């Protein structure tokens, strides 16, 4: 007797409905496995896209040189040793001497209290050249950037972050107004667009940029810089530029071979790599958890199908008496186990999507759906087949007459 695919599916779904509590327990393992695969795949892709977007906002092809050295202070903590050996002339020599360097922007930054009338705020103030606005892709809401001429004359001008604007000037135009930055009156010439928090956890909207010469002479009275942004030409290796910069700075600082660097060099790709290592670790743990869940789900389906076979001897006997062959019995029970696994897989996909949307909204990540959904369904089907083979084979061992009278 021949049976159509729709017949096997109908029988399988009927069994699911009749034994819904039992089958629900069987498919939960598959559901959790697929849910974790789909949810984390989507969330990790969203996190990567956000990281890449943040790097794009920070600037293109940048190598950052920072005075001082990062060192490990413990298993999980890192500290930064300050250095006063990085000078403006170092930045000028790098721009003039090294091939592949498009621009060098020296800076000096620190936290200062800022005040306007009765309002006060602690801001991160950076003395910097106006080239930073190009290489860091900084756009303005209103006003203008300070000029090279204003920098050369050490004029006290400022481009302020969006939160500084919101706190000090909620109902008035800030352009032309003066704020006190560490008791120094500073004229506002521009307001930056909202940028959020960077990878170091610093709120870029609490940033104030002033001309570098003004900062070094009038705000801090220093003759050294904290660091520099080095923009590299397209096609140049940032890793290679890091090596070149390290050797060049050591040379102009007359560092001996046994001496440690008095500076640190890194790129945004270094930060991205650190972020991705954390994502990769969680990904490995997710795969392990999913594998265990798939195994538990497969064993659950196996046990339920084996129990179902022993309870359905009468059904098997009647099927055999009316002409069903052994392969029909095998196909019937295999289809049931596959459908149980697929229902669990589809439930896992739906749940994974819901978790993805909730986490992405809370975490501020772009909502991205990964391409591992077909893989999850294929794995579910394979688990269903493997879990159903032995019970299906056991069902063919019942002789029709014995099955009817047992």
- C-alpha distance from residue 234 to each of 18, 51, 231, 241, 298 (Å): 65, 21, 9, 12, 52
Phi, psi of 181 (to 5 degrees): -110, 105
CB contact at 8 A, 178 and 188: yes
Rounded CA separation 145/108 (Å): 18
Say what the pLDDT of residue 363 is.
Answer: 74
Phi, psi of 246 (to 5 degrees): -60, -50
Rounded CA separation 65/148 (Å): 22
Q: What is the three-class DSSP state of 188? A: strand
CB contact at 8 A, 232 and 61: yes
For residue 215, what is the DSSP state?
Answer: I
Q: What is the three-class DSSP state of 230? A: strand
Say what the pLDDT of residue 324 is.
Answer: 66
CB contact at 8 A, 70 and 174: no
Residues of the chain with pLDDT under 50: 1, 72-79, 403
Q: Quick one: how many helices (H) and strands (E) in the chain?
A: 13, 12
Say what the pLDDT of residue 75 is.
Answer: 44
Strand partners, 124: 111, 207
- C-alpha distance from residue 125 to each of 108, 187, 212, 401 (Å): 8, 14, 11, 91
The DSSP result for 113-170, as a single string, is: EEEETTEEEEEEEEEE-TTHHHHTT--EEEE-PPPHHHHHTT--EEEE-HHHHHHH-T
CB contact at 8 A, 206 and 217: no
User: Tens of pLDDT along 143-197?
Assistant: 999 999 999 999 999 999 999 999 999 888 999 999 998 888 999 999 999 887 6
Taking the CA atoms of 299, 300, 303 and 305 in sequence, report the sign of the dihedral they define. Answer: negative
Rounded CA separation 228/266 (Å): 11
Rounded CA separation 344/206 (Å): 49
What's the full length of the chain, in residues?
406
Q: Would you kindly state where each structural domain of the chain is located, as residue ranges?
A: 5-53+273-405, 84-261
Q: Kindly report the pTM of this predicted structure.
A: 0.61
Strand partners, 107: 128, 227
The DSSP result for 292-328, as a single string, is: HHHHHHHHHHHHHHHHHHHHTHHHHHHHHHTT--HHH
Query: 94: Cβ–Cβ under 8 A, 6 or more apart, which residues?
Result: 101, 104, 228, 230, 245, 248, 249
Rounded CA separation 104/75 (Å): 34
Q: What is the three-class DSSP state of 209? A: strand
Say what the pLDDT of residue 165 is.
Answer: 94
- Alpha-carbon Rg for the chain in angstroms: 33
Six-digit token pair at 357? 């949307």
Angle between helices 268-311 and 20-58 (to 10 degrees): 170
Six-digit token pair at 280? 């990769």
Residue 320, sorted as left (phi over 0), alpha (psi -120 to 50) or beta, turns out to be alpha
Q: What is the three-class DSSP state of 58? A: helix
């Amino acid at each position: 007797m021949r049976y159509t695919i729709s017949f096997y599916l109908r029988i399988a779904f009927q069994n699911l409905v009749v034994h819904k509590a039992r089958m629900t327990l069987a498919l939960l393992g598959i559901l959790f496995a697929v849910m974790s695969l789909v949810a984390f795949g989507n969330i990790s892709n969203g996190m990567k896209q956000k990281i890449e977007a943040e790097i794009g906002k920070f600037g293109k092809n940048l190598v950052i040189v920072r005075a001082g050295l990062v060192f490990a202070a413990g298993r999980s903590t890192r500290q930064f040793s300050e250095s006063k050996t990085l000078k403006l002339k170092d930045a000028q020599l790098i721009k003039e001497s090294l091939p592949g360097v498009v621009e060098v922007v020296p800076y000096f930054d620190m936290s200062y209290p800022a005040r306007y009338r009765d309002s006060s705020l602690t801001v991160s103030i950076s003395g910097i050249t106006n080239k930073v606005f190009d290489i860091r892709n900084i756009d303005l809401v209103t006003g203008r950037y300070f000029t090279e001429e204003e920098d050369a004359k050490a004029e006290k001008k400022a481009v302020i972050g969006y939160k500084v604007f919101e706190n000090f000037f909620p109902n008035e135009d800030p352009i032309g107004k003066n704020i006190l930055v560490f008791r120094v009156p500073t004229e506002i010439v521009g307001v930056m667009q909202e940028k959020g928090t960077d990878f170091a956890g610093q709120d870029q909207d609490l940033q104030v940029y002033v001309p570098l010469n003004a900062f070094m002479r009038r705000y801090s009275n220093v003759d050294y810089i904290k660091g520099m942004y080095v923009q590299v030409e397209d096609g140049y290796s940032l890793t290679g530029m890091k090596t070149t910069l390290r050797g060049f700075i050591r040379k102009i600082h007359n560092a001996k071979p046994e001496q440690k660097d008095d500076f640190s060099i890194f790129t945004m790709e270094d930060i991205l790599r650190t972020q991705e290592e954390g994502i990769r670790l969680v990904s490995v743990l997710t795969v392990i958890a999913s594998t265990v869940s798939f195994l538990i789900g497969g064993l659950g389906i196996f046990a339920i199908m084996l129990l179902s076979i022993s309870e359905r001897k009468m059904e098997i006997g009647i099927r055999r008496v009316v002409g069903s062959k052994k392969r029909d019995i095998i196909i019937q029970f295999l289809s049931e186990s596959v459908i149980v696994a697929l229902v669990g897989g589809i439930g896992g996909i739906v749940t994974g999507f819901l978790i993805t949307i909730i986490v992405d909204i809370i975490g501020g990540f772009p909502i991205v759906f990964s391409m591992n959904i077909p893989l999850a369904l294929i794995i579910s089907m394979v688990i269903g087949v493997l879990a159903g083979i032995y019970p299906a084979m056991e069902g063919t061992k019942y002789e029709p007459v014995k099955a009817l009278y047992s």
